[in-house]
Structures are given as C-alpha cells and as structure tokens.
C-alpha cells in the first residue's frame, strides 16, 4: 500500500465576498419582490396577486441570512 500512487487532495479556498453584506441585503430586498410581482401576474392579470406575492417575498428577503 505504501508503494501505491499518492492521493491528491483538493483544497477549496475561501475568497471574500465581492459585495458587502449591507448592499447585498438591499439588492435582495429589491430584487426578490420584483421577481415575485412579475411571476404572479403583476399588472397584467390581477394587481392583488402580484402585491401579495411581492410582500411575501420582501418578508422572506429580510429573513434570509447574508453571509459576511
């Protein structure tokens, strides 16, 4: 066993985030409600469905953990 080939080990480096956490939180709180509003019909079908989905997405965006 000692004479066999050596096993290579992959090392995964950790690079720092490119965007600071405060800015990332703002982007989530703007982007997720817009996506939910668009996917739930928005202005095209019924305004109420889009607004409810956007409000729910905003609450989820505020609860998401943002990695430092």
Q: Summarize pLDDT for 12-22 with one digit per residue, the tens.
A: 777 776 778 78
What b/e string do you get for 42-58 counting C-beta neighbours within 10 Å, with b at 16 or more? beeeeeeebeebbeebb
By residue range, what is the domain housing residue 58? 41-68
- Retrieve residue 38's tokens: 């668009």
- Name which of 39, 28, 38, 34 is nearest 62 in CA terms: 28
Domain count of the fold of the chain: 1
Q: Can you give the pLDDT at residue 18? A: 76
In a domain, 31, yes or no: no
In a domain, 66, yes or no: yes
What is the value of pTM for the model shown? 0.61
Q: Binning pLDDT at 50, 70 and 90, where does residue 55 land? A: very high
Q: Can you give the pLDDT at residue 42? A: 67
Q: Can you give the pLDDT at residue 24? A: 84
**What's the rounded mean pLDDT across residues 7-13?**
77
């Amino acid at each position: 066993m000692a004479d066999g080939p050596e096993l290579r080990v992959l090392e995964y480096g950790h690079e720092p985030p490119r965007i600071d956490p405060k800015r990332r939180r703002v982007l989530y709180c703007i982007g997720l409600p817009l996506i939910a509003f668009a996917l739930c019909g928005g202005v095209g079908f019924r305004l109420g469905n889009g607004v409810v989905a956007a409000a729910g997405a905003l609450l989820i965006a505020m609860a998401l953990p943002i990695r430092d």
